Structures are given as C-alpha cells and as structure tokens.
C-alpha cells in the first residue's frame, strides 16, 4: 500500500529506524510480536518445518519492504519524498509527503506490485536453475507464490490500496481528480464490504481486518478530497471567525474562566496592547488551572508558539497546517490580528459551502476586542 499524508509527523507507536536508499523505515511496536513468533517458532526449533515457516515469514516481510521501497524510489523520480515507510505485521505503508499528479500516481502505485511480480519471477527462474533439494525448492515456491499473491492482492481496485490508486489516477486523467477520488472511494468501500462478508463466511479474520482498514481509509480519503474541493480557491479570511474576544496579557485564569463561560469562544488570543503575545486555548487553560490555580496570569500558561495563517493563503493549503495546530490558529496580517480559524468554524464553513452558498463573498474583517 502507499498513502499520502500532508502531515510531516512520524507515525505513532513506532520503534527503531533504519534508512534504506535514503528512506526512513520504521517498525510498528506490534512488530515485536512477529519477531517473538519468529524466534519461538523457527530459529530455535529443530523441526525443519518450523524453521522453514520462520524463514518464509522473514522472506515475506522482506518482500513487503521491497514493495514499499518500490513506491518510495519511484516517487522520488517524480520529486516526491517519502516521509517514512512503516512496517506493520500485516503489511507496510509508504507515506509520501504530498499527492502526485495522476500520471505519476499511476506509475508510483504500480511500482509496488511490479516489484513483487519481478521478485516472484526471479525466484521461480532462480530455483529452476539452482538444483536445490526438495525442502528448499518447496520454500522458494511458497515465496514465489506469496509474491504473486501480494501483487494480485494489492492490485484489487479498492482505494486506497495500490489498485484503487491506479484506478483513481486513470479516472482522474479523464474526469478530474475530485470526481475520480469520489468514484474510487465509493468502489473502495463497496469492495471492502464484499471483502468483509467473504472474510466472515470463509472465517478469515485477517481479511476482515484488511476490509475494515480499507473501508475507513476510503471513507477518510473521500472526505479529505471533498474538503479540499470545497475549500480550494478560497482564502483563509473567508472562513475565519471575525467576531471574537481577546485577553490582555495581565489577565488571570479566573478572568479567562469568566470569559469562557460568558461566550461560546474556547480559544483566546492574548494581547499586549495591539500586539498578540500568545494563544490561550482550552487545553492550556485546563492545564494552567490544574497546575497554577485561578490566580495565575494567562501569560504564564499561554501557548507562545501558536500557528499563524496568512489571510490570503488558500484555505485548502492551510488545512494540513490546521491539523497540526490543534483546535485553533490565528489569522494574522503581519503583526495585525484579523481573526481565528478553528475546527468548528471550518466544519461550519464546509457545511455552508455544501449548501451552495459562498460565505467568503461578504465576509467582513472587523475584529472586536475586549
Ligand atoms: Zn503498495
């Protein structure tokens, strides 16, 4: 699989990192269970079958890693970096820094399964010339079959699996990316439901798990794509909160609490005269109340490292920054505070856009301070 996320943060729950072809490869902590299984099942065992099973799992893991590297190295040829490859016991994910253009995405998505096809053919050809004993031949046949299975499975057109990405990029070349993502997301969810039903009937829990992941990912990609379409070309200022309260830097948390109750606002810019010196969001407020008490000054607990957004920046481009900012970002024209951008009002903005209105058209930029 390959996935595109605009966040640069590394996946959570990973341990250990190696670098292959300049791509960071991390292992999810659940990998320890797989390693424990390998150690217990194979390496210490005298029974040939168990040792062969362990070798098989190890080889399979290596083939999955090479599959992900296939995506990463191909993406680099199109100038797209891979933030990381995360290896889970059930497979790998290559996280690319940004989305590729349709043609590039098609090639990048196909590169992974292609690696497995090449590996499978290479193992079959190699085994037929090597003249190994029966046990070794059996193992190699299993590894070759697993590679063909990996290629075939990943080519199932269930977005966001590789096959789904190939399908989406092909549709995108004809109908545009927005429509393509919606179609691919729908097909992905449909296939996921069928996969889940088959998994239940056949008693394959593994397939059920994959189906669930595909369904969730397809739904999320569909929503992200819709959000992008509804916000593209709109400036940040069109979606920001323009009527808001601020807190002077000399206020106490008790005063902040009164404002929190008296208004519907949850995040307050902290100002010193005209100048913004920080942001007191609800988390900082709660943390401050618990740690310092109500008489502490807001300036002692506020966040000085808040996220600033340019009012004229494209809203679609700002959404990834918002995802990192947490609940609230400040919209600033130089040092001048124009408004707040919060998750709630982005959700409202999307709802209004969906209803066909253009809220940006008459947005005023007057700020009301307290
Ligand atoms: Zn893949």
Which residue, 191, 213, 231, sits at the end of a domain? 231
Same domain, 143 and 46: yes
Comparing 42-56, 181-195, 246-260, 303-317, which segment has the lowest mean pLDDT?
A: 42-56
Assess if residue 306 is contained within a domain: yes
Centre of ligand 1 from the C-alpha of residue 187, in Å: 18
Assess if residue 49 is contained within a domain: yes
Query: What pLDDT score does 366 carry?
Result: 40
pLDDT, one tens digit per residue, over 130-154 is 777 888 888 898 899 989 988 988 8
Q: Which single residue is written with the structure tokens 């794509």?
A: 225
pLDDT, one tens digit per residue, over 253-304 is 888 888 888 888 888 889 888 888 888 888 888 888 888 888 888 888 888 8
Assess if residue 361 is contained within a domain: no
Distance CA 340, CA 110 (A): 42
Give the model's confidence band at 215: pLDDT under 50 very low, under 70 low, under 90 confident, else very high: confident
Same domain, 85 and 196: no
Give the Cβ contact number of residue 21 at 10 Å: 10
Distance CA 39, CA 96 (A): 32
Centre of ligand 1 from the C-alpha of residue 245, in Å: 49
Query: Would you say residue 369 has pLDDT above 50?
Result: no
Same domain, 47 and 125: yes
Comparing 30-34, 317-321, 338-342, which segment has the lowest mean pLDDT?
A: 30-34
Average pLDDT over residues 45-66: 78
On average, the pLDDT of the chain sits at: 81
Same domain, 50 and 137: yes
Query: 187 with 157: CB under 8 angstroms?
Result: yes
Centre of ligand 1 from the C-alpha of residue 368, in Å: 51
Query: Would you say residue 8 has pLDDT above 70?
Result: no
91: three-class secondary structure by DSSP: strand
Centre of ligand 1 from the C-alpha of residue 2, in Å: 5
Same domain, 216 and 242: no
Supply 82's token pair: 């891979």
Centre of ligand 1 from the C-alpha of residue 96, in Å: 12
Same domain, 134 and 176: no
Which residue, 122, 137, 155, sits at the end of a domain? 155
- Bigger pLDDT: 125 or 358? 125
Cα distances (Å, whole numbers) of residue 126 to 20, 77, 80: 25, 29, 34
Query: Would you say residue 193 has pLDDT above 50?
Result: yes
Same domain, 258 and 318: yes
Distance CA 270, CA 330 (A): 11
Same domain, 315 and 218: no
Query: What pLDDT score does 119 carry?
Result: 95
Query: What pLDDT score does 7 carry?
Result: 42
> What residues have a C-beta under 5 A from ligand 1, the ion?
1-2, 112, 154, 162
Assess if residue 123 is contained within a domain: yes
Same domain, 15 and 124: yes
- CA–chain centroid gap for 114, Å, is 24
Comparing 2-11, 174-183, 301-310, which segment has the lowest mean pLDDT?
A: 2-11
Same domain, 248 and 288: yes
Range of the domain at 225: 158-231
Centre of ligand 1 from the C-alpha of residue 160, in Å: 9
Same domain, 15 and 97: yes
Query: Would you say residue 352 has pLDDT above 90?
Result: no
Query: Would you say residue 368 has pLDDT above 60?
Result: no
Average pLDDT over residues 170-179: 86
Query: Would you say residue 247 has pLDDT above 70?
Result: yes
Give the model's confidence band at 74: pLDDT under 50 very low, under 70 low, under 90 confident, else very high: very high
Assess if residue 366 is contained within a domain: no
Centre of ligand 1 from the C-alpha of residue 98, in Å: 16
Assess if residue 149 is contained within a domain: yes
Same domain, 139 and 8: yes
Count of domains observed in the chain: 3
Query: Would you say residue 116 has pLDDT above 90?
Result: yes
- Bigger pLDDT: 124 or 13? 124
Q: Which of 1-5, 169-173, 233-237, 304-308 has the highest mean pLDDT?
A: 169-173
- Residues shown for the chain: 370
């Amino acid at each position: 699989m390959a996935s595109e996320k605009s966040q640069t943060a590394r996946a959570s729950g990973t341990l250990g990192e190696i670098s292959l072809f300049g791509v960071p490869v991390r292992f999810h902590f659940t990998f320890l269970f797989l390693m424990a299984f390998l150690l217990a099942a194979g390496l210490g065992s005298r029974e040939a079958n168990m040792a062969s099973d362990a070798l098989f799992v190890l080889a399979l893991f290596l083939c999955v890693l090479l599959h992900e590297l296939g995506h990463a190295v191909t993406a680099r040829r199109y100038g797209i970096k891979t933030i990381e490859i995360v290896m889970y016991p059930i497979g790998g994910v290559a996280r690319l820094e940004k989305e590729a253009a349709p043609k590039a995405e098609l090639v990048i998505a196909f590169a992974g399964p292609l690696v497995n096809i090449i590996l499978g053919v290479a193992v079959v050809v190699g085994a037929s010339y090597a003249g190994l004993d029966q046990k070794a031949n059996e193992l190699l046949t299993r590894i070759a079959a697993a590679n063909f299975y990996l290629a075939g499975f990943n080519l199932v057109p269930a977005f966001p699996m590789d096959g789904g990405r190939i399908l989406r990029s092909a549709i995108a070349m004809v109908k545009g990316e927005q429509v393509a993502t919606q179609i691919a997301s729908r097909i992905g969810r449909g296939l996921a439901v069928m996969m889940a039903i088959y998994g239940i009937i056949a008693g394959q829990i593994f397939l059920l798990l994959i189906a669930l992941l595909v369904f969730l990912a397809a739904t999320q990609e569909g929503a992200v794509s819709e959000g992008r379409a509804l916000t593209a070309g709109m400036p940040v200022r069109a979606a920001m909160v323009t009527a808001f309260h601020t807190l002077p830097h000399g206020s106490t948390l008790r005063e902040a609490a009164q404002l929190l109750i008296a208004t519907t606002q949850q995040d307050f810019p902290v100002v010193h005269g005209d100048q913004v010196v920080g942001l007191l969001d609800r988390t900082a407020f709660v943390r401050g109340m618990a740690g310092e008490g109500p008489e502490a000054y807001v300036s002692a607990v506020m966040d000085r490292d808040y996220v600033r957004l340019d009012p004229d920046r494209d809203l679609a481009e700002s959404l990834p920054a918002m995802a990192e900012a947490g609940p609230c970002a400040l919209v600033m024209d130089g040092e001048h505070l124009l408004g707040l951008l919060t998750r709630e009002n982005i959700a409202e903005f999307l709802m209004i856009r969906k209803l066909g209105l253009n809220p940006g058209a008459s947005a005023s930029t007057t700020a009301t301070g307290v």
